[in-house]
Amino acid sequence: MPELPEVETIKRSLAPKIIGKIIREVKIYLPKIVKNTDLEEFIRRVTGKTIESLNRRGKYLLIGLAGGEILTVHLRMTGKLLVLPRGTPKDKHTHAIFDLGDVELHFNDIRQFGGFSFDLPKLGPEPLEEAFTLTYLKEKLNPSKKNLKAFLLDQKIIAGIGNIYADEILFAAGLSPKRLAATLTEVEAEKLYNAIRAVLNLGIKHRGTSIRDYVDSENRQGGFQHLLKVYGKSGALCIRCNSKIIRERHAGRSTHFCPNCQK
């Protein structure tokens, strides 16, 4: 968390508030949030720059600065970007403040895993864009030795899917997270493809999933948590077959599925 729908929601709420603003000053209170760059160099490279664009790539936010510099933001587990009135006191989990004139951009992160860099790791195609085709998905499924949960979580194959949406996608497709990716039939591959796009689009429509810490730039929660079918539902009854949803660990992550519907 946040995953693609949450980061997309943050981008949409944040963009009109920061694009066109000048970064007048940057205060970093936790140096480790600056990745792969010296802290003084980081501050020098962003101070005085106009924010010209805000985009998303997978789970990353890309802040485009004047002169062609791209500032990459990864929120990880608990990161937040909040637009607040200038002079708003920082709380104990605020690790950076960007002075944008009339407002400030606060980076808040309880678990301190998120941060900023000028690098972006190699990522697979965006699952809601034209580059992500059924043909591409089949080409990646066929030689894979991963189970489906690990396959969906691999950011080099598909960008942006995390634990919550992987579970919901596999339930929508009627596929077990333990199933080997290479064993899918043509029909099953198409079901998976359609489920990926449908579930992620629905997640964006409902502004993401707020279970613990996720809020958008206005501190508002999402609503997709009310539509979850399996994630976090261990012991509850499946909405399709009335079997009990179970939780197991797959691909190193807690995984929720129906053992009857997802064989």
* 59 in catalytic set: yes
Distance CA 1, CA 79 (A): 9
Q: Which residue from 215, 250, 247 is spatially nearest to 231, judged by alpha carbons? A: 247
* 248 in catalytic set: no
Q: Which residues pair with 109 in a beta bridge?
A: 79
Distance CA 226, CA 211 (A): 10
Distance CA 45, CA 216 (A): 26
Catalytic residue among 11, 49, 59, 179: 59
* 2 in catalytic set: yes
Distance CA 234, CA 221 (A): 23
Is residue 78 a contact partner of residue 38, using CB atoms and an 8 Å limit? Answer: no
Residue type, 95: H
Is residue 132 a contact partner of residue 139, using CB atoms and an 8 Å limit? Answer: no
The answer for residues whose C-beta is within 8 angstroms of residue 133's C-beta and 6 or more apart is none
> 158: number of CA atoms within 13 Å, CB side?
30
Torsion of CA 186, 137, 114, 22, to 10 degrees: -130
> 50: number of CA atoms within 13 Å, CB side?
5
Catalytic residue among 2, 5, 127, 177: 2
Catalytic residue among 25, 138, 253, 259: 253
How far does CA 242 lie from the centroid of its chain?
31
Residues that are catalytic: 2-3, 59, 253
